[in-house]
């Protein structure tokens, strides 16, 4: 029997938390979760044109009695600042899984500023931030964060460190 990858564990944690919708902006760091969501007949995978649409998707899911998780990259967090007031002011659950850029092994200097600002920006916006740096912690972190978001009706973000997801490389 093969040991599941940390990504498989994260998807299983989302399923165990009864998440039935996943919104995402395409991202290589979330490729496994995106593929798994599209392959799962019980999951609605929704492609977003911009990350802040995911907050509205989450609100609609919650109002319709479903649970949603949003997948985004750290650079997309900056697009969400104004919309992050929605889950906070409406006391609604919001769960986002954020792949980090601008950290360990980064080749693109444009990713560094938002990578450094992601956690402080989310915290300042009232989002409870958790961070997964090791594969063995990722699924448990997502499960606990989903419980916090959905049971307490608050916004929660799980940051997947760049070291965890692997640094992207530029190929000429």
| 68 occurs within a structural domain | yes
Residue 171 in domain: no
| pLDDT of amino acid 2 | 64
The answer to whether the beta carbons of residues 36 and 44 sit under 8 Å apart is no
**The pLDDT value given to residue 101:** 82
Q: Which of these, 132, 27, 37, 31, lies nearest to 76 by C-alpha position?
A: 27
172 lies in some domain: no
CATH number at residue 125: 3.40.50.970
Domain that holds residue 57: 6-165
What is residue 170's predicted lDDT score, i.e. its pLDDT?
Answer: 62
Structural domain includes residue 96: yes
- Indicate whether 170 belongs to any domain: no
Q: Look up the pTM and report it.
A: 0.93
**Residue 99: inside a domain:** yes
Asked whether residue 97 is assigned to any structural domain, the reply reads yes
**Residue 14: inside a domain:** yes
Is residue 11 within 8 A of residue 21, CB to CB? The reply is no
Domain count, the chain: 1
In tens digits, what is the pLDDT along the chain, a chain of 172 residues? Answer: 567 799 999 999 999 999 999 999 998 889 999 999 999 999 999 999 999 999 999 999 999 999 999 999 999 999 999 999 999 999 999 999 999 887 887 677 788 778 888 999 999 999 999 999 999 999 999 999 999 999 999 999 999 988 898 876 666 6
């Amino acid at each position: 029997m093969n040991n599941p990858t940390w990504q498989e564990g994260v998807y299983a944690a989302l399923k165990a938390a009864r998440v039935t919708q996943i919104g995402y902006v395409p991202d290589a760091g979330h490729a496994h979760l995106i593929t798994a969501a599209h392959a799962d007949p019980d999951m609605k995978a929704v492609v977003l044109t911009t990350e802040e649409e995911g907050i509205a998707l989450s609100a609609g899911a919650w109002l319709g009695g479903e649970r949603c998780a949003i997948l985004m990259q750290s650079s997309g967090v900056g697009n969400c600042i104004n919309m992050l007031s929605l889950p906070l002011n409406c006391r609604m659950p919001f769960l986002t899984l954020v792949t980090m850029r601008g950290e360990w092994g980064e080749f693109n200097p444009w990713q560094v500023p938002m990578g450094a600002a992601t956690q402080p920006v989310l915290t300042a916006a009232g989002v409870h931030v958790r961070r997964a740096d090791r594969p063995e912690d990722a699924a448990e972190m997502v499960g606990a964060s989903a419980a916090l978001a959905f049971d307490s009706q608050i916004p929660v973000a799980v940051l997947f460190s760049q070291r965890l997801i692997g640094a992207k490389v530029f190929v000429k």
